[in-house]
Amino acid sequence: MLLRAIDRFFSHEASGGILLGLSAIAALIVANSALQPSYDWLLNLPFAVTLGGEGLEKPLILWINDGLMAVFFFLIGLELKREILEGKLKNPRDVILPGLAAVGGMAVPARVYRFFNWGNPDTIGGWAIPAATDIAFALGVLALVGSRVPAALKVFLLTLAILDDLGAIVIIALFYTAELKVDYLFLSLLPLGAMLWLNLKGSHRMAPILLLGVVLWVLVLKSGVHATLAGVITAFLIPLKDKWGKSPLHALEHGLSPYVLFFIVPVFAFANAGVSLAGIELGDMLAPLPLGIALGLILGKQIGVFGATWATVKLGFAQLPHGVTWAHIYGLSCLAGIGFTMSLFIGSLSFADPELMNAVRLGVLSGSLISGVVGFAVLRMSATAQEEEAVPAE
């Protein structure tokens, strides 16, 4: 009976978001308890992989953020390639509305953040933090509303979130690259070329490509470009069809998804959501850094996603999906303000100072929580209103 209940939980659409939320709560509890020194010690524990005196040595938190998150981005890359070749992104007409909504949902939050942090060289670099949307959390909250929202709304949110992730990948590549070491970049062309050759020949063995992807990850990390991009590049070089007509891409995506959703993302959340509340007052929440992030997620996402959608429809470039109302779009715009995983990740790239990262966590957690609650309430009320309208008068 217990095993059946566990199986039902992990097969539910909201399970990933729930587990993510529980991991964040656990991090908050640990970071504000007697276990806090042990939590910090564990995250800063050095871990090294060396050969002949050469290799990598990083604290555990960076192995999580650079290593495990590369696997997370590898899965995103697989999803993006599949959607582009045979899914929601294949037909350009279907991309116009969620695509412009995604652009608005990234541009306006960044502008809100910059408004509050303008002129502060210590914090202005975090402008991309509120531009992100957490797919697992947003879809999890939408799943909690149930079947009372139209299926087209889930497709719209999923497409928007996928394009948002693509935008985040571009931002990381362009704006969060450290000092370049060109020699390592040139060396990275070797595994890249080998993976491309295996892709073109339709190789059905994935182990060689994955091993070359690990080599690419190391070289990209050493070059100064953020290593998670190696995950995306490797994913795009996984063949959709091999020479036998089977799909390595589908098999990898299907096999990897549970590990990412139920292990990697919760581990990342536990390692990065541990904000210390000791000595924090209301005035700390109103500081430019956390306030810019929180309002970017709450107001910026609502204005950006809803405004871009409204303008696109009113100008005649696209139509609302079947069965989707403006109330649904507003609720979805609120859910897009759940930044969490991606926002915390971009925050870790933006700031190395522990105090600034604590402020980032405050802004991301508060902004994401408010966005999720408001989005859930709006979608629940809109669904209830539609059900009442559908009941015939006696």
Q: Which two tokens stand for residue 267?
A: 């581990």
What's the pLDDT score for residue 8?
64
Residue 141 CB: number of other CB atoms within 10 A? Answer: 25
Angle between helices 151-175 and 326-335 (to 10 degrees): 40
Segment 310-319 shows an average pLDDT of 92
* Contact in structure between 195 and 209 (CB atoms under 8 Å): yes
What's the pLDDT score for residue 3?
57
Q: Which two tokens stand for residue 49?
A: 């992989």
Nearest to 310 by CA among 323, 320, 321: 320
Question: Tokens 């959607």 correspond to what residue?
Answer: 83
Given a cut of 90, is residue 51 above it in pLDDT? no
| Between residues 21 and 211, the one the model is more confident about | 211
Give the contacts of 305 (CB within 8 A, at least 6 positions apart): 101, 102, 104, 105, 160, 329, 332, 333, 336
Taking phi first (over 0 means left), then psi (-120 to 50 degrees means alpha), and beta for anything else, what does residue 181 get?
beta
DSSP H or E run through 56 = strand 54-59
Q: How far apart are CA 349 and CA 99, in angstroms?
A: 25
What's the pLDDT score for residue 205?
83
Give whole-number Cα distances, 313 to 149, 284, 295, 333, in Å: 20, 40, 26, 15
223-252 pLDDT, tens digit each:
877 777 888 889 999 988 887 888 888 999
Taking phi first (over 0 means left), then psi (-120 to 50 degrees means alpha), and beta for anything else, what does residue 217 get?
alpha
Where exactly are the structural domains of the chain? 15-386
What's the pLDDT score for residue 330?
95
CATH class of 15-386: mainly alpha
Of 100-114, 260-274, 334-348, 376-390, highest mean pLDDT: 100-114
Give whole-number Cα distances, 184 to 52, 154, 174, in Å: 18, 42, 18
Percent of the chain with pLDDT over 90: 28
* Contact in structure between 333 and 302 (CB atoms under 8 Å): yes
12 confidence band (pLDDT: 50, 70, 90): low
Its pTM stands at 0.80
Nearest to 326 by CA among 168, 134, 103, 101: 101
Sign of CA dihedral 26, 31, 32, 34: positive
What's the pLDDT score for residue 301?
95
Given a cut of 60, is residue 53 above it in pLDDT? yes
Q: Which two tokens stand for residue 390?
A: 């559908």
393 confidence band (pLDDT: 50, 70, 90): very low
252-294 pLDDT, tens digit each:
999 998 888 889 888 988 988 888 777 677 777 889 999 999 9
69-80 pLDDT, tens digit each:
888 889 888 888
Q: Which two tokens stand for residue 217?
A: 């990850």
Q: Which two tokens stand for residue 57?
A: 């040595």
Segment 339-364 shows an average pLDDT of 88
Segment 151-179 shows an average pLDDT of 81
Segment 321-349 shows an average pLDDT of 89
| Between residues 44 and 165, the one the model is more confident about | 44
Question: Is 194 exposed, middle or buried, given 0-12, 13-18 or 19+ CB atoms closer than 10 A?
Answer: middle
Segment 331-347 shows an average pLDDT of 89
Given a cut of 80, is residue 385 above it in pLDDT? no
Given a cut of 50, is residue 17 above it in pLDDT? yes
Q: Which of 126-130, 145-149, 181-185, 390-394 has the lowest mean pLDDT?
A: 390-394
Given a cut of 90, is residue 190 above it in pLDDT? yes
Given a cut of 80, is residue 178 above it in pLDDT? no
| Between residues 296 and 281, the one the model is more confident about | 296
Q: How far apart are CA 215 and CA 196, in angstroms?
A: 14
